[in-house]
Amino acid sequence: MASIPEVWLRGSIPDIIPDLQPVAHALLQAREDVERLTEGLAPDALWTEPGKAASIGFHVRHMAGALDRLMTYARGEALSDAQREALDVEKLRTPDVRVEMLLTTLYATIDRALSQLRSTVPEELEHGRAVGRAGHPSTVRGLLHHAGEHTARHAGQISTTMRVLG
């Protein structure tokens, strides 16, 4: 069976400006990787912390939460109380939460992020944005690129954790 090329080798994502194509590619590739990696994942493996490393459940939950927060900052908005509460929950081991629930949230967050990328125009990319309570300086471009990179990084960590778990 022939494998499908990685997302970045399939061409441009419709309606996304060239500067943000790498972000869209990273988000879509992370989605595909996580979907493939978690297929058939045993429920007990979701929250296993091999060698005290973060669990797959943490990575999936954090991918969605961090992506949501980064996109919020890119819009120039402050985090909501619900987003702050979700940040606290990300670190919790919650054995009653199944992978399907986490994936549903992640996929919806990626879909919203792609929608936001589609509505971003080149003139906005260098607009300044404050990040976090400390108000660290960034730009729309910086936040969006970090959103793609960060999401991909955690997909890679899921891959590594899966190998450790066997």
Are the CB atoms for 23 and 148 separated by under 8 Å?
yes
User: Using alpha carbons only, what angle is made at residue 117 by residues 67 and 65, rounded to the nearest 5 degrees?
Assistant: 10
Asked if residues 87 and 72 have their Cβ atoms less than 8 Å apart, the reply is no
pLDDT at 2 over 80: no
Helix (H, G, I), strand (E, B) or coil at 129: strand
For residue 22, pLDDT beyond 80:
yes
Write out pLDDT tens, residues 50-103. Answer: 999 999 999 999 999 999 999 999 999 999 999 999 998 888 888 888 999 999
Selection from 120, 146, 10 nearest residue 66 by Cα: 146
Q: Which residues are registered as beta bridge partners of 130?
A: 137
Tell me: the pLDDT tens digits for 23-42? 999 999 999 999 999 999 98
* Residue 14 backbone dihedrals phi, psi, to 5 degrees: -55, 140
d(CA 38, CA 35): 6
